[in-house]
Every structure is written in structure tokens, then in C-alpha cells.
């Protein structure tokens, strides 16, 4: 593959190549049940391929018309799987397959594309969102939305621009579309359980290898880091951001707010080899919310440890207990008083169905701002754990200059950042 070099400034500016005065408007709403929905997939890894399959399942009018990725083998693998399952609806040609750091810009230039699926590691996400909005594309993007406060500000600006141009942006926080979560959140918000006084959120994985690949001879530093992206904070945000965001998004949903402060701890004790980059393997963070309640957040990726993934929202009259498979309510003494007994689905196809419906109906959904807040929630926890400092939301959003973009984007040398040491790692 031809090596493409982009400076840090060029990469950041790439997402803002179209001036506000020349914004492209989206195509008209699709004729219900008839007009084709042309979708482009940016990021062709395993998760991205599943996302594209879910999008195809959501509506029979969906066609995949373009693919973009850094690496030919991943693009080929994704294309083969899509054709295997939906041969007649994959309209990709060699001319609509793009490789490299700037591949997404070539997708944005395709006027026939209606929806872009932004499925790359989140370290690349903010400029891609901006470019998609400026090109008049509706968006599905995986979570998280960014890896640092600078990226969060970019997402907020893109959310505002999408409102102005009536674009839909749906994000990969699929619990929001799961019926049991919706029912329990309704009861919390209706006041059935009284006032919220606290909660817990968990993503204890019970495993240490997740989207990990052994480095192969011939891979440059940059290629290795992109292929093993979860293990590098500039690409994933660390696992508290990449995975645990799901749980803290549920907590923010229940609270109807983001936290005002936090204090976190964490470390790298069980997964210490250089093949695992420089991220932590465990975090615990206490968040404080505007109503004064506190939530304990815990996440880990440690082989042989007890897995626990889910949330508990504690109220004056009881508590909700949820994970992706079930939901129930307990009274103040811990006795079950309600269990959701309706159909449970993953929400992963529903999120695409709702995105497409919003476009057909001309009633845009814009979840970008909400994703930015949930992403910043877990970034705040990571920053606190990395530095050992208690942090306030307002400081992070107004004063932090933390920017994890790389000095140069090229398939070459790229030193691994040092492991953060609380009390020594500076607060930026």
C-alpha cells in the first residue's frame, strides 16, 4: 500500500476542508420503502463489519456502496463477509474502495452516499464527524466519540452544525434502544422510585486480550498501534473510555445530567507486557452528580477475574439493576418487586432502524452532543486516575488542553507513550 504522510495539522484540518459557506445539504428524505439508501462504511474491522451487517438488517433498501480502511486485508475481509450475507445489496466496486489516512475524505466526496458509518478507532473520530456533517451526510458512529477534551469540543461543534443542516446522527450506545432499559429508565424519570441517591456501574471484563493481534514482522510502529488500537490511549482512550462508556452513559441517562466532578484510581498490574501497549488494566472512579449523589464506577480487563457488566441506580424507594440481558427493580431491602418480562433485544439493529426512519420522516435525531457528554464523563475518570488528581467537569471542559493527536500520521516510527503514573503524570 502506498504510504501516505499527513502532518498533525493536516489531519485535523482534513475534517474541516469544506467551509461553512459551502456546506452540502443532505439528499431529500427517502421515499418510504422504495428509495435506495446508499451507505458507506469507514473502518472495516470486526466490529465495523458487524455494524454494517446490522445496518443491512435494519432496512431492505440499504445498500453498501463504499468501503474505507487503513489496510487492504481488513477491507477485503469485510467485503467478503458482507457479500456472503447480502450479496445483492453490496454495490461496492474497486473504484469505491479507499485506503489510507485520507480514505474517509474520498468517501465524503461521493455525492451519492446518504449515510456514513464511522467505525474507526475513536482517536480518528472527531475530524471524520466534522467532515461528514460538512459533506451533508447522515451519520452512524460507534462510541466513544473522542479520546480527549479537544476532540469533545470538536464533537460539540459538529452537533451544532448537524442541527443547523437537519442531519441525523445516531451513536452506538445501544442500551438506549433496548426495551428493558427504556422501561426502567421511564420508571426512574417518572419518579416511581423516588429521588436518585447513588449508583454503581461496572465493566469488569474477566479477560485481558481484546482486539489484540501479535505484532508481525514488517509492521511499522504506526501500523501495529492501529491494528492493536485498544491498547493505546491516543486511539482508544483506554478501556475505561472505549468499553465502560456504555455503563456510564446509562448512569448519565438515569441522572439526566453529566457528573460535576470525580476522583479516580487505576493501574497496570496484571497486563504489563509491552505487547499490550501502555493502557491500564483496571480503574475505579467515584463520580459526583449535580444532585449531590455519588456513583462508583469500576472497570477492568484482567484474565481470571470475576466478570461483572451492568449498572445499579439507587433511589429513595428502591433501585434498578440492569445489564444487556435483563432488568429488575428492588425495594429498599433488596427484594425484587418488578422484573421486565417483555422481549429483550440487543438494540444494535434498532439503532439503525431508528436512524433510517428519522431520515425518511424528515425528523432528524442528533445524539452527537449526548455522546460527547458521555465520552467526556469517562475521559474525566481516566484523566483523574492517570494523574491522581480530583477533577471538576468545568475545569476539564474550559481549561484542559489535553490533545492526544499524533505529530505525524504516516506508516512509520511512532514511540509508545509511557505508562501513566499517578502523582507524576502531569495534568494537562
Report the CATH number that the domain containing residue 115 is assigned in CATH.
3.40.50.720
In a domain, 420, yes or no: no
Query: Residue 34: its pLDDT value, please?
Result: 46
> Do residues 196 and 237 both lie within one domain?
yes
98 strand-pairing partners: 68
> Do residues 153 and 204 both lie within one domain?
no
Q: Which of 235, 150, 280, 237 is nearest to 406 (CA)?
A: 235
Q: Which of 238, 297, 294, 229 is nearest to 267 (CA)?
A: 238
Query: Residue 23: its pLDDT value, please?
Result: 57
> Do residues 221 and 319 both lie within one domain?
yes
Phi, psi angles (nearest 5°) of residue 157 = -65, -40
In angstroms, the CA 268 to CA 271 distance is: 6
Query: Residue 210: its pLDDT value, please?
Result: 83
Question: Would you call 29 exposed, middle or buried from its count of C-beta atoms within 10 A (0-12, 13-18, 19+)?
Answer: middle
In angstroms, the CA 53 to CA 44 distance is: 12
In this prediction, the residues of the chain whose per-residue pLDDT falls under 50 are: 1-4, 7-22, 29, 31-34
Residues 6+ apart with CB under 8 A from 301: 205, 207, 208, 210, 239, 243, 271, 281, 282
Query: Residue 428: its pLDDT value, please?
Result: 98
Largest CA distance in the chain: 64
Residues 6+ apart with CB under 8 A from 62: 37, 39, 55, 56, 89, 356
> Do residues 20 and 163 both lie within one domain?
yes
In angstroms, the CA 92 to CA 94 distance is: 7
Tell me the residue range of the domain where 189 lies: 179-342+376-397
Question: Would you call 323 exposed, middle or buried from its count of C-beta atoms within 10 A (0-12, 13-18, 19+)?
Answer: middle
Cell numbers 459526583: residue = 288
Query: Residue 207: its pLDDT value, please?
Result: 85
> Do residues 154 and 81 both lie within one domain?
yes
Task: Give the 3-state DSSP-derived string for the chain, with helices as H, strands as E and coil as C.
Answer: CCCCCEEHHHHHHHCCCCCHHHCCCCCCCCCCCCCCEEEEEECCCHHHHHHHHHHHHHCCCEEEEEEEECCHHHHHHHHHHHHHHHHHHECCCHHHEEECCCHHHHHHCCCCCCEEEECCCHHHHHHHHHHHHHCCCEEEECCCCCCCHHHHHHHHHHHHHHHHCCCCEEECCHHHHCHHHHHHHHHHHCCCCCCEEEEEEEEECCCCCCCCCCCCCCCCHHHHHHHCHHHCHHHHCCHHHHCCHHHHHHHHHHHCCCCCEEEEEEECCCCCCHHHCCCCCEEEEEEECCCCCEEEEEEECCCCCCCEEEEEEEECCEEEEEECCEEEEECCCCCEEEECCCCCCCCCCHHHHHHHHHHHHCCCCECHHHHHHHHHHHHHHHHHHHHCCCEEHHHHHHCCCCCCCCCEECCCCCCCCCCCCCCCCCCC
How far, in Å, are 148, 149, 261, 339 from residue 378 at the CA level?
10, 11, 11, 29
Query: Residue 8: its pLDDT value, please?
Result: 45
> Do residues 336 and 360 both lie within one domain?
no
In a domain, 411, yes or no: no
> Do residues 13 and 149 both lie within one domain?
yes
> Do residues 255 and 385 both lie within one domain?
yes
Query: Residue 102: its pLDDT value, please?
Result: 98
In a domain, 26, yes or no: yes
- pLDDT tens-digit readout, 185-226: 999 999 999 999 999 999 999 888 888 899 999 999 999 999
Question: Interhelix angle for 72-86 vs 46-58, to 10°?
Answer: 30
In a domain, 423, yes or no: no
Q: 410, 4 in Cβ contact below 8 A?
A: yes
Query: Residue 26: its pLDDT value, please?
Result: 66
Q: 135, 109 in Cβ contact below 8 A?
A: yes
> Do residues 38 and 163 both lie within one domain?
yes
Sign of CA dihedral 371, 380, 256, 183: positive
In a domain, 421, yes or no: no
In a domain, 409, yes or no: no
Q: 233, 156 in Cβ contact below 8 A?
A: no
Tally of structural domains, the chain: 2
Cell numbers 509491552: residue = 274
In a domain, 187, yes or no: yes
Query: Residue 6: its pLDDT value, please?
Result: 52
Query: Residue 211: its pLDDT value, please?
Result: 86
Query: Domain of 228: which CATH number?
Result: 3.30.360.10
> Do residues 24 and 167 both lie within one domain?
yes
> Do residues 213 and 113 both lie within one domain?
no
Q: 175, 324 in Cβ contact below 8 A?
A: yes
> Do residues 70 and 165 both lie within one domain?
yes
Amino acid at each position: 500500500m502506498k504510504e501516505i504522510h499527513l502532518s498533525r495539522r493536516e489531519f485535523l484540518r482534513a475534517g474541516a476542508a469544506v467551509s461553512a459557506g459551502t456546506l452540502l445539504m443532505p439528499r431529500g428524505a427517502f421515499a418510504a420503502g422504495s428509495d435506495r439508501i446508499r451507505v458507506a462504511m469507514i473502518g472495516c474491522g470486526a466490529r465495523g463489519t458487524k455494524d454494517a451487517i446490522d445496518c443491512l438488517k435494519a432496512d431492505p433498501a440499504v445498500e453498501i456502496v463504499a468501503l474505507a480502511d487503513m489496510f487492504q486485508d481488513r477491507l477485503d475481509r469485510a467485503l467478503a463477509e458482507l457479500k456472503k450475507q447480502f450479496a445483492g445489496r453490496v454495490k461496492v466496486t474497486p473504484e469505491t474502495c479507499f485506503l489510507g489516512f485520507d480514505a474517509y475524505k474520498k468517501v465524503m466526496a461521493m455525492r451519492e452516499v446518504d449515510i456514513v458509518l464511522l467505525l474507526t478507532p475513536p482517536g480518528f473520530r472527531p475530524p471524520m464527524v466534522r467532515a461528514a456533517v460538512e459533506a451533508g451526510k447522515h451519520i452512524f458512529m460507534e462510541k466513544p466519540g473522542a479520546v480527549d477534551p479537544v476532540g469533545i469540543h470538536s464533537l460539540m461543534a459538529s452537533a451544532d452544525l448537524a442541527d443547523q443542516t437537519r442531519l441525523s446522527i445516531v451513536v452506538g450506545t445501544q442500551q438506549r434502544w433496548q426495551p428493558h432499559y427504556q422501561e426502567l429508565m421511564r420508571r426512574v424519570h417518572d419518579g416511581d422510585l423516588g429521588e436518585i441517591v447513588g449508583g454503581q456501574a461496572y465493566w469488569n471484563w474477566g479477560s485481558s486480550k481484546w482486539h489484540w493481534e501479535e505484532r508481525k514482522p514488517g509492521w511499522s510502529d504506526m501500523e501495529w498501534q492501529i491494528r492493536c488500537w485498544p491498547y493505546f490511549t491516543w486511539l482508544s482512550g483506554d478501556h475505561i473510555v472505549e468499553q465502560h462508556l456504555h455503563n456510564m452513559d446509562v448512569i448519565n441517562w438515569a441522572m439526566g445530567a453529566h457528573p460535576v466532578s470525580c476522583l479516580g484510581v487505576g493501574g497496570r498490574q496484571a497486563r504489563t507486557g509491552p505487547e499490550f501497549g501502555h493502557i491500564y488494566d483496571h480503574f475505579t472512579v467515584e463520580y459526583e452528580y449535580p444532585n449531590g449523589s455519588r456513583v462508583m464506577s469500576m472497570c477492568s480487563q484482567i484474565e481470571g477475574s470475576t466478570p461483572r457488566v451492568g449498572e445499579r441506580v439507587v433511589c429513595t424507594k428502591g433501585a434498578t439493576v440492569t445489564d444487556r440481558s435483563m432488568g429488575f427493580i428492588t425495594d429498599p431491602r433488596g427484594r425484587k418487586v418488578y422484573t421486565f418480562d417483555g422481549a429483550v433485544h440487543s438494540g444494535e439493529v434498532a439503532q439503525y432502524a431508528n436512524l433510517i426512519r428519522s431520515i425518511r420522516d424528515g425528523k432528524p435525531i442528533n445524539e452527537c452532543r449526548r455522546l460527547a457528554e458521555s465520552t467526556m464523563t469517562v475521559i474525566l475518570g481516566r484523566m483523574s486516575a492517570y494523574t491522581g488528581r480530583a477533577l471538576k467537569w468545568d475545569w476539564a471542559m474550559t481549561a484542559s488542553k489535553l490533545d492526544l493527536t499524533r505529530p505525524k500520521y504516516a506508516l512509520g516510527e511512532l514511540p509508545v507513550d509511557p505508562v501513566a503514573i499517578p502523582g507524576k503524570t502531569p495534568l494537562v
